[in-house]
Structures are given as structure tokens and as C-alpha cells.
């Protein structure tokens, strides 16, 4: 399948002031009618992705998007189309207007990690899992990481050990990911990355941890976010030694969240 036959699609994770995100149902007459999804649609010829996102939200829900942050990318093969999905996060202060179901669809606010609607459009299942990952964590590589604020979904991840239960979220070097996935096919494994090769290996992980201990680490992560947008959430680990270094606004550059080393 060539890139020319891939349909470019944008979708937005729209948040309200309570930290809930919006899902809407696909209208009657469209493929997968009645399935729940993130609002969005096809990028038309000559449109930027942001303009396409703004147009789709205006057409579907009658609201204005003023800004959006790049997040995850996914390629999904449906029976009717092969799509390259570009997901954006839209905070509560990046949109305004009164939500209106202009296509007679249903819509519903949802809490991360606590879904109450079904069925979900197949391409969105990993996106919903990613939304359950907190955007603020703390800890260290030796002992593990945990949610940093009570407002975030509770999560603890631990360094991988052979005896650890496969239901536990664990992390390991990206070079071990393929082997560990074969040994524990149902495990939730995060991958620690330090270079481009590991970044590409880690696209089958549940998330990426990118330690930042030098200016070189920062520059490489910035390059990878731009040239190889991730299909999995990226957590930037701010090591203690790196904190005096000037840090970019990682969230607006596509990083899912920040881990502060303790």
C-alpha cells in the first residue's frame, strides 16, 4: 500500500474544564454508524492539519478551535479506507462555543480510564488507553514511577523483573521490548529510549520513557518528535541533573507528559 492511497485524517481530543474529554457517535449513513469516536475527519487538498481540525469541529459540533497540540499518530486499515490518523489535544481554553450536534450525532464527556459508552471505533482503542496515562509523574528509574497529583489517574510503573505479574505496568530498555513481548504477550510494557533506533523499536510499546540528562538528549527528542511523530505516548523524564537546563514546553511539542526524577 503506497502513501498515495493513505487518507490523511485529523482527530481532536477535546477537554472541558473538569478534565473530561469528548466522544461523539458516528452519524447514520457513515461507515461504522453508531460507533463512538473522537471528532475530526479527512484533511482536504490544500489544508493544513490544524485548519482541517478547525473545519471539522465547526461542521460537526459548531465550536471554534483556536489552537491544538499534536499528540499521537496512528495508521489504521479499515475495510473502506486506509487512514493515517493525526490526533491532537485541545485544552479547555483552546476552544469556545456551545456544543451542537450538527450531524444528529450523540456526544458525551468521558473521564480518562473510565469509559461509559460503546462500541468504540476500532482505531481509537489505543488512544483511550493512552489517555489513562497521567501527564504528570514522579520517581526514578531504579525504583519506579507513580502519578504525581491526585487529580490524575492513579498509576504506578515498576522496573521489569522476570517474577513480576504481567498485569503490572513495567518498563525496560527498548532493546528488550521484542523479547519481553514474546514472553509476556499481554503485559503492559513501557520502553526506555536514548536514540533513534530505540525510538523506532519502541513504537509497539505501551509508552516511551525518554530520559533528559543533557542538551543532546533534548535536541534529539525534539528532532524525533518532528521527523518521526510517535504512535505511543512519550513521557519526558527530567533527570535532576538536567533541570537547570532550559527546557522546551514539551507538552505543546507532542510529549504526552513529564516525569520529574526524585
Say if CB 219 and CB 236 are below 8 A apart: no
- Please name the residue that has the C-alpha cell 444528529: 104
pLDDT of residue 1: 39
Secondary structure class of 23 (helix, strand, coil):
strand
pLDDT of residue 240: 84
Nearest residue to 208 (alpha-carbon basis) of 228, 183, 182, 185: 228
DSSP assignments along 82-106, one per residue: EEEEEEEEE-GGGEES----TTS--
User: For the chain, where are the alpha helices, taking DSSP H only?
Assistant: 49-61, 125-131, 177-183, 196-201, 215-227
Q: Which residue ranges in the chain fall short of pLDDT 70?
A: 1-4, 165-166, 242-245
pLDDT of residue 219: 95
DSSP state of 34: T
Q: 3-class secondary structure for 126-172?
A: HHHHHHCCCCEEEEECCCEEEECCCCCCCCEEEECCCCCCCCCEEEE
Give pLDDT tens digits for 108-165. Answer: 999 988 899 999 988 888 899 999 999 999 999 999 999 988 777 789 999 998 877 6
Amino acid at each position: 500500500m503506497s502513501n498515495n492511497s493513505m487518507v490523511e485524517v485529523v482527530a481532536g481530543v477535546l477537554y472541558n474544564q473538569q478534565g473530561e474529554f469528548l466522544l461523539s457517535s458516528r452519524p447514520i449513513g457513515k461507515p461504522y454508524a453508531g460507533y463512538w469516536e473522537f471528532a475530526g475527519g479527512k484533511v482536504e487538498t490544500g489544508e493544513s492539519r490544524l485548519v482541517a481540525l478547525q473545519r471539522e469541529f465547526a461542521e460537526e459540533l459548531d465550536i471554534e478551535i483556536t489552537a491544538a497540540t499534536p499528540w499521537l499518530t496512528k495508521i489504521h486499515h479499515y475495510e473502506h479506507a486506509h487512514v493515517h490518523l493525526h490526533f491532537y489535544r485541545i485544552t479547555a481554553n483552546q476552544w469556545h462555543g456551545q456544543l451542537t450536534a450538527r450531524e444528529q450525532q450523540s456526544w458525551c464527556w468521558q473521564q480518562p480510564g473510565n469509559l461509559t459508552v460503546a462500541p468504540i471505533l476500532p482505531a481509537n482503542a489505543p488512544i483511550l488507553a493512552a489517555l489513562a496515562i497521567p501527564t504528570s509523574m514522579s520517581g526514578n528509574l531504579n525504583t519506579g514511577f507513580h502519578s504525581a497529583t491526585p487529580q490524575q489517574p492513579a498509576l504506578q510503573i515498576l522496573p521489569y523483573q522476570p517474577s513480576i505479574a504481567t498485569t503490572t505496568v513495567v518498563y525496560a530498555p527498548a532493546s528488550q521490548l521484542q523479547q519481553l513481548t514474546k514472553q509476556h504477550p499481554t503485559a503492559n510494557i513501557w520502553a526506555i529510549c536514548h536514540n533513534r533506533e530505540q525510538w523506532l523499536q519502541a513504537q509497539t510499546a505501551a509508552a516511551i520513557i525518554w530520559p533528559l540528562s543533557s542538551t543532546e538528549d533534548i535536541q534529539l527528542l525534539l528532532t524525533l518528535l518532528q521527523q518521526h511523530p510517535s504512535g505511543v505516548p512519550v513521557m519526558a523524564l527530567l533527570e535532576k541533573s538536567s533541570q537547570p537546563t532550559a527546557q522546551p514546553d514539551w507538552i505543546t511539542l507532542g510529549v504526552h507528559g513529564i516525569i520529574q526524577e526524585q
